Chains A and B, each alone.
Chain A
Amino acid sequence: MSESAYPIAIFFAAVFTNNILLSNYLGMCSFLSVSRELKTSFGLGVAVIFVMTSTSMLNWVVYYKVLQPLGLEYLRFIVFIIVIAAFVQLVEMIIERVSEVLYAALGIFLPLITVNCAILGVSLFMVIREYTFVESITFGLGSGIGWFLAILAMAGIRQKLKRARIPHGLEGAGITLIITGMMALAFMGFSGMLQIG
């Protein structure tokens, strides 16, 4: 694969074959609870896409321009989290100022996203796999879209589940996790397509 096509390959891999939620099982807790409702899932998914892309870019800059020159790569866990938290706070304030409507739709999800491990996971993977700046953008975007698709699919499935008879002990988290596993298996079918990392 040529160098210039690599970011695109990363993008598609992040959405399908190496889906951050279905392959790496990151970002589970808000996935399980919010996927109960279709509308909130949509809102949270969009917010995740935005935050994932932005923070992977930000953290790339912080890692390669600040931490690495100072030889402080081992601090990345703490520093990435601090950057993510500060960024989300800032974005929340800006959105509230600029558009009340957008704030009503997405603003409430932002604090929930700060502790979403998939966000931190994306930044850490980007470091492990030594992505360039462009690659980290496409990776963040792809992972976000992948997470978004997964939660949207799960929300749709849970709507259908409302009519189904589920064994008593498996209600709620139980059946949702089983279905997530089945979705993960389904997504594995994409694996012949592309491989990264």
Chain B
Amino acid sequence: MFSALMISVGAVTGISALLAVLMVIADATIGNYGEVKITINGDHEYEVKGGKPLLGTLMEQEIFIPSACGGRGSCGLCKVKVKEGAGQFLPTELPWLSDEEKENNIRLSCQLKVKNDMSIEIPEELFNVKEFQAKIAKVRDLTHDIKEVTMELADPPEINMVAGQFVQLRIPEYELTDEPVYRAYSVASNPSDTKHVELEIRLVPNGIATTYVHNYLKEGDDIIFNGPYGDFFLRDTEREIICIAGGSGMAPIKSILLNMAERGIDRRVRYFFGARSKKDLFLVDEMRRLEQELPNFKFIPALSNPEEEDEWEGETGLITDIVASHMETGDNTEAYLCGSPGMIDACVKVLSEKGVPDELIYYDKFG
């Protein structure tokens, strides 16, 4: 009886142990991709641990490929050219890749797993994108729902960027969230101040990042962000400039204007700021000050729905109508827009009708 019990226990234990050992071996061999080498642009080499998506693997090496969806395959921004070492196209990549891109071995780096040595190509500007540790230097209310947040850089202590670019703020876990989240915000400060980055952040109901910023972030807090990103910047031409941006869209425009004032750029520039009522206006004093520094700059705020007590005497109506009434012609003009897709579409239409060619209308695409 006892021996039968021992045999049965022994048998089950033996079989389980055997299979467990098999699993461990399999995990260490089949499941383990070991160290692989990634070569970037032919000359930068990195030894990395295989098995994870390319996007995350590169991030660990401090190379930040842009992404708006956190690696879910929903934004299509993380495209990378993989010359060698990629496998077949995954079904989650295909919706984002044109035939031409497929022929050129463009892959979605958040879906592609690093399993063997790879050789990839990325735009050189991305090497300038770094992760920054910073402290919150100042938090100020601009309106009832927009806060101005100024960060002082700690490590690295300086940032090298161009006016109009944006950064990705890392929101740590808090309250209901249990993993960090990244959200993009345009930089409002003058890039010549390399030690500070200023953001304008508008509260979005149910927004993970904006709720954190408005309810939790305090002066003195530590924060992490990476950047700079984006190809929204002032083109070096002699054309007239039209800027249209409301709400937190002012950020990149303000950055551009401050930079223009500092460099003494003389081009004619008009900034149309659309808001609902007076309580949505902000930094008007700053704009008026810039009008003094830049003689050829006019700030034109327009309210679409002013309240009685505002006693508003400026422009009234929809921003598209105001722009149309102020523009005589679109000749020799470039436009810089910052706002929601709906507002951008409407403005593009007005500008096109006035004769501004499509390729001279610039806007940030992450909006």
A-B interaction: yes
Asked if B264 is an interface residue, CB under 8 A from chain A, the answer is no
| Cβ–Cβ contact B15 & A100, under 8 A | no
- How far is it, in angstroms, between the C-alpha of A66 and the C-alpha of B8 when the chains are bound? 12
Chain B positions within 8 Å of A89 at CB level: 23, 26
Tell me the bound Cα distance from A10 to B30 in angstroms.
36
Q: Is the CB of B88 within 8 A of A100?
A: yes
Known: A75-B11, A93-B26, A101-B90. Is A83-B19 also a contact (CB below 8 A)?
yes
CA distance A112 to B253 in the complex (A): 53
- Number of A interface residues at 8 Å Cβ cutoff, please give it: 24
Candidates A78, A96, A97, A105; contact of B12 at CB < 8 Å = A78
Residue from A74, A94, A100 in contact with B113 in the complex, judged by beta carbons closer than 8 Å? A100
Task: Verify if A196 is at the interface (C-beta below 8 Å from B).
Answer: no
Question: In the complex where A75-B11, A79-B12, A93-B30 touch, is A104 in contact with B19 (Cβ < 8 A)?
Answer: no
**Residue of chain A at shortest CB distance from B87:** A100
Which residues of the other chain, A, contact B26 by a CB distance below 8 angstroms? 89-90, 93-94
Q: Does B22 contact A (CB under 8 A)?
A: yes
Q: Point out the residues of chain B lying under 8 angstroms from A178, CB to CB.
A: none
List residues of chain B with CB within 8 A of the CB of A78.
12
B305 interfacial contact with A, CB 8 Å? no
A82–B87 contact, CB under 8 A?
no
Contacting pair B88 A82 (CB below 8 A): no
Contact with B along A87-112 (1 / 0, CB 8 A): 00110011011011100110000000
Taking a contact as CB atoms under 8 Å apart, the answer to whether B90 and A82 are in contact is no
- Least CB distance from B15 to A in Å reads 6
| Alpha-carbon distance A82/B31, docked complex (angstroms) | 20
A135–B281 CA distance with the chains assembled, in angstroms = 81
- B88 shortest CB reach to chain A, Å: 5
**CB-defined contacts of A67 to chain B, threshold 8 Å:** 11
Check B27 for interface membership: any CB of A closer than 8 A.
yes
Q: How far is the CA of A78 from the CA of B13 in the complex (A)?
A: 11
Choose one: A70, A75, A90; the contact of B22 (CB below 8 Å): A90
Q: If A66-B15, A72-B7 touch, does A104 touch B23 (CB 8 Å cutoff)?
A: no
Complex Cα gap A82–B92 (Å): 34
CB-nearest residue of chain B to A97:
B30
Which of B4, B15, B23 is in CB contact (< 8 Å) with A90? B23
Provide the residues of chain B in CB contact with A104, threshold 8 Å: 90-92
CB neighbours (8 Å) of B30 from chain A are 93-94, 97
CB neighbours (8 Å) of B87 from chain A are 99-101
Q: Knowing A79-B15, A86-B23 touch, does A70 contact B88 (C-beta < 8 A)? A: no
Chain A CB within 8 A of B16 CB: yes
How far, in angstroms, from A159 to B90 measured CA to CA in the complex?
27
Instruction: List B contacts of A71 (CB < 8 A).
Output: 4, 7
The number of residues on chain B lying at the interface, defined by a beta carbon within 8 Å of a beta carbon of chain A, is 22
Are A82 and B15 within 8 A (Cβ)?
yes
Cβ contacts under 8 Å, B92 to chain A:
104
Residue contact A93 to B31, C-beta cutoff 8 Å: yes
Partner of B11, one of A70, A83, A93, A105: A70
User: Are B19 and A86 in contact (CB-based, < 8 A)?
Assistant: yes
Question: Can you list, as one digit per residue, whether each of B91-134 has a CB less than 8 Å from chain A (1) or not (0)?
Answer: 11000000000000000000001010000000000000000000
Q: Is the CB of B11 within 8 A of A72?
A: yes
Cβ proximity bits B161-205 to A, threshold 8 Å, 1 near / 0 not: 000000000000000000000000000000000000000000000
CA distance A175 to B298 in the complex (A): 69
Contacts of A79 in B (CB 8 A): 11-12, 15
Can you list, as one digit per residue, whether each of B1-37 has a CB less than 8 Å from chain A (1) or not (0)? 0001001100110011001001100110011000000
Q: Which residue of A lies closest to B91 (CB)?
A: A104
Q: Shortest Cβ distance from B141 into chain A, in angstroms? A: 47
Contact A100 B12 (CB under 8 A): no
* Contacting residues, chain A, for B22 (C-beta < 8 A): 86, 90
Q: Cβ of B113: which chain A residues have Cβ within 8 Å of it?
A: 100
User: Please, which residues of chain B bring their CB within 8 A of the CB of A97?
Assistant: 30-31, 115
Determine the chain B residues whose CB is within 8 A of the CB of A75 once the complex forms. Answer: 8, 11-12
List chain B residues, Cβ under 8 A from A99: 87-88
Q: Which of A20-50 contact B (CB under 8 A)?
A: none
Interfacial chain B residues near A96, Cβ < 8 Å: 31
Q: A141 to B87: give the CA distance in the assembly, Å.
A: 31
For B27, the closest partner residue in chain A by CB is A93
User: Chain B contacts of A86 at CB under 8 A?
Assistant: 19, 22-23
C-alpha spacing A89/B23, complex, angstroms: 8
Shortest Cβ distance from residue B20 to the other chain A in the assembled complex, whole angstroms: 8
Which residues of the partner chain B approach A70 to less than 8 Å between Cβ atoms? 7, 11
Cross-chain contact of B19 among A66, A72, A74, A82 (Cβ < 8 A): A82
- Nearest B residue to A95 by beta-carbon distance? B30
Give the distance to chain B from A188, nearest Cβ to Cβ, in Å: 39
Instruction: List, sorted by A's number, 17 A–B pairs whose CB atoms are closer than 8 Å.
Output: A62-B15, A72-B8, A72-B11, A82-B12, A82-B19, A83-B19, A90-B22, A90-B23, A90-B26, A93-B26, A93-B30, A93-B31, A97-B31, A97-B115, A100-B113, A101-B90, A104-B91
List 5 A-B pairs, minimum CB-CB distance, nearest first. Answer: A86-B19, A93-B30, A93-B31, A97-B30, A72-B11
